[in-house]
Structure 1
Amino acid sequence: MAFTLTSTDFKDGDVLPDAHVKALGNTSPQLAWSGAPEGTKSFAITCYDPDAPTGSGFWHWTVANIPAEVSEIPTGGPVPSGAVEGRTDYGAPGFGGAAPPPGHGPHRYIFTVFAVGVEKLDVTPDNSGAVFGFNLHFHTLAKASITAIYENKG
């Protein structure tokens, strides 16, 4: 069985709905996953924009330590008890919606769920996406992604 990620809010390749745009709703999307590999002890989620004009992309959401029995996050959350939301590149923990610069063209918002081989990653709400990624690098058993597109035509 393949490890898959889906959303009832958008399909892979769709335009990101306004509800998930920072200035228009700033609400995290519903995400559901299935087919986690044997040995999965927790899950993590990231949302990353590789097209941000920063030289290093932009982290919109990082969540770790989602219990292994959880397979869905509802639209707008909350994340499960015990999960840790990290600091986005906006500077605070939690979901930060799409906000590409006007006229910069379409940006990709890559939502990824990670099957993790440990119950807890050593991360805090003060940690950046890079720190979450570093910890995930050593403990990821599988990952699945869906991508939405958004452009601020200004």
Structure 2
Amino acid sequence: MSLDRPLAQDPYEKLPAVPSFTLTSTDIAGGRPMPALHSRDGGNVSPQLSWSGFPQRTRGFMVSCFDADAPTPSGWWHWTVVDLGADITELEQGAGQSDLMLPGAAFHLRNDDGEHAYTGAYPPRGDREHRYYFAVHALDTETLELDEDTMPGLAHGAARAHTLARAVLVTTFKS
């Protein structure tokens, strides 16, 4: 298998255009390598995320992390949190550890590792640098009415009809 394959498309380019808002982090920076702490082998700790400037009519949020460059046909979902209230504008570092670390009614969906939690970056050894898309979706609903075993792809399909705006921060990691 050649590790010199072309970069995958930005996954959000496939969706209808929506306004954007601001997503920042004290732990990761757009276009910069992710600290090892947020990789699977370096600590497996979800980064701090905060967001602002979303539409006033926002009723809830969904947060996710996706590796578009994973050597699979469908990329790799590392993290999906649903049912975050409209009053939540931050996830603290480590919030991806368990549902107990999440505010209010929010909960984790099963990621592609089969965990109800954040799983850090782990591109194959020797592969090129991977891009990790951290996204916050401002929704027009408080809940997507999903259960914890809903797959992330299905959750994002459900969110598509409810997305008012989206904030994306892309960081990188190489093993």
TM-score by length of 1: 0.95
Alignment of 1:1-154 (within 5 A): 3-77=21-95, 78-152=101-175
Q: Deviations over 1:88-119 (max 9, x none)?
A: 00011110100111111110000000100001
Percent identity, please. 41
- The unaligned stretches of length 5 or more in structure 1 are none
| RMSD of aligned alpha carbons | 1.2
CA deviation after TM superposition for structure 1 residue 81, in Å: 2.3
Q: Deviations over 1:99-147 (max 9, x none)?
A: 1111111100000001000010121211111111111111000001101
Q: Which amino acid aligns with 1:66?
A: L
CA deviation after TM superposition for structure 1 residue 38, in Å: 2.2
Cα distance in 2 for partners of 1:18, 1:68 equals: 31
Q: Is the partner of 2:154 in helix, strand or coil? A: helix
Indicate conservation of the 8 Å contact 1:12/1:146, yes or no: yes
Cα distance in 1 for partners of 2:88, 2:109 equals: 19
TM-score by length of 2: 0.84
Richer in helix (by share): 2
Cα distance in 1 for partners of 2:55, 2:147 equals: 26
Q: Is the partner of 2:57 in helix, strand or coil? A: coil
Indicate conservation of the 8 Å contact 1:85/1:124, yes or no: no
- The unaligned stretches of length 5 or more in structure 2 are 1-19, 96-100
Q: Is the partner of 1:142 in helix, strand or coil? A: strand
Q: Is the partner of 2:37 in helix, strand or coil? A: helix
